[in-house]
């Protein structure tokens, strides 16, 4: 695609499913942040070639649960959840011939995504500045690492929970009784994948003007810091260290969950008009005229008294019916659902947020296009499943492929 004109790219994309049809991505990532990034691109039509090391992506073993294959191999849910719509090639980049294979595959690629320790690509003679940018001037090279290559922590490994701890995210989760808590979803890895996908698309857009690729330096550290709103904004303004508040919001009241007869419900009010309307809906019109609750600042100062009145008003109600009634009145409210309840909800089904194809079941894409819809085109690949197909398409002869397989440069089964 590098030699195509902008018009060619647009026509190719619009003629096939997915806004990114025609985009070719070489994916050297493992575990979560990188694979999540490339799955976003793959969901919307990009051709993503996942080059797995001889041992494979280690998340294939991060189970149970597993899907068991007929040949005795198995893949964990953790891998399956972020690797659909990709093609897998087993390749040993530690060997010079493996790196030669990578270079041939990059000849037709638009994007390279990798999450090796900073300096690894340079050690292999594949550094962006010295080699790749000169050989492939239109290539977008996105590196995802824990801390980047520079700074006091440059080059050190990064892991989601460790970055949650180091960037303050853990300190604002939980409540005073629990102390800092890890967010149950790997938010740093996922956010880094999202930011990286955004960065790649920005770089591709800029390439349309300049004709040049560029290097993206994405880190778990920076993306985690970027998630600190509104706590960082509060600190910048008042100089007070943010503390964990549990469900209540540090800047808004009411903004917390309440127990009803059938379930817990989260109720919020973002402005005075919403608060007054909430009071009317709950039969508490007197609260809206109470000076203690007249403004958001006043409600924050009297949060406990306000919560007691609201809790008493909803305690005997059906929480599901109450939440729906408040939502239909234009008020922020929702039942607190378990994961299985959320996935099986009527609205999740209506929004195609559960995707099924060829025995695969996973989350749907949240990015909804009208003309170029994305989604699940093929299930996550088995290890090295498309090796021969990918290399043949890239111009490798059958004899070359057989030789590389005999020399264990290409792998057909994971090395244990």
Specify which residues 49 forms β-bridges with.
26, 87
Written as one string, the DSSP assignment of 80-118 is HTT-TTEEEEEE-TTSHHHHHHHHHHHTT-SEEEE-PPT
Pairing type for strands 255-259 and 215-219 reads unpaired
CA distance 222 to 187: 13
Say whether 189 is catalytic.
yes
Cβ–Cβ under 8 Å, residues 308 and 254: no
Structure tokens at 408: 């264990």
CA distance 53 to 57: 7
Sign, Cα dihedral of 340, 346, 352, 355: positive
CA distance 59 to 76: 7
Structure tokens at 300: 């924050």
CA distance 123 to 376: 37
CA distance 264 to 405: 57
User: Among 27, 189, 318, 340, which one carries the catalytic annotation?
Assistant: 189
**Helix orientation angle between 187-210 and 33-43, rounded to the nearest 10 degrees:** 50
Report, as residue numbers or ranges, the catalytic residues: 189
């Amino acid at each position: 695609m590098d030699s195509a004109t902008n018009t060619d790219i647009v026509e190719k994309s619009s003629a096939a499913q997915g806004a990114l049809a025609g985009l070719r991505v070489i994916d050297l990532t493992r575990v979560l942040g990188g694979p999540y990034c490339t799955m976003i691109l793959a969901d919307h039509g990009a051709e993503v070639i996942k080059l797995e090391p001889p041992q494979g992506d280690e998340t294939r073993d991060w189970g149970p649960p597993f899907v068991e294959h007929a040949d005795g191999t198995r893949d964990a849910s953790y891998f399956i959840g972020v690797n659909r719509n990709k093609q897998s090639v087993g390749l040993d980049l530690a060997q010079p011939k493996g790196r030669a294979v990578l270079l041939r595959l990059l000849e037709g690629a638009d994007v390279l995504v990798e999450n090796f320790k900073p300096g690894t690509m340079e050690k292999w003679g594949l550094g962006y500045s010295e080699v790749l940018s000169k050989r492939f001037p239109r290539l977008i090279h996105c590196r995802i690492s824990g801390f980047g290559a520079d700074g006091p922590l440059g080059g050190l490994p990064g892991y989601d929970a460790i970055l949650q701890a180091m960037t303050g995210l853990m300190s604002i989760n939980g409540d005073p009784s629990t102390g800092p808590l890890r967010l149950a979803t790997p938010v740093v890895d996922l956010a880094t994948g999202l930011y990286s996908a955004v960065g790649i698309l920005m770089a591709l857009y800029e390439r349309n003007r300049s004709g040049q690729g560029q290097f993206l330096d994405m880190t778990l550290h920076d993306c985690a810091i970027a998630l600190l709103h509104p706590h960082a904004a509060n600190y910048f303004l008042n100089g007070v260290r943010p503390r964990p508040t549990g469900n209540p919001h540090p800047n808004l009241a009411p903004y917390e969950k309440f127990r009803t007869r059938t379930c817990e419900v989260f109720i919020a009010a973002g402005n005075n008009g919403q608060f007054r309307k909430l009071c009317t809906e709950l039969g508490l019109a007197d609260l809206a005229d109470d000076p203690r609750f007249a403004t958001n600042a006043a409600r924050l100062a009297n949060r406990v008294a306000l919560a007691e009145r609201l809790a008493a008003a909803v305690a005997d109600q059906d929480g599901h019916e109450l939440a729906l009634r408040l939502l239909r009145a234009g008020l922020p409210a929702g039942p607190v659902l378990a994961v299985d309840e959320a996935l099986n909800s009527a609205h999740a089904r209506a929004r195609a947020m559960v995707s099924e194809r060829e025995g695969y079941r996973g989350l749907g894409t949240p990015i909804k296009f009208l003309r170029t819809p994305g989604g699940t085109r093929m299930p996550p690949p088995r290890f090295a499943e498309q090796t021969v197909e990918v290399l043949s398409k890239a111009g490798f002869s059958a004899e070359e492929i057989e030789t590389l397989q005999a020399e264990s440069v290409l792998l057909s089964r994971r090395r244990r």
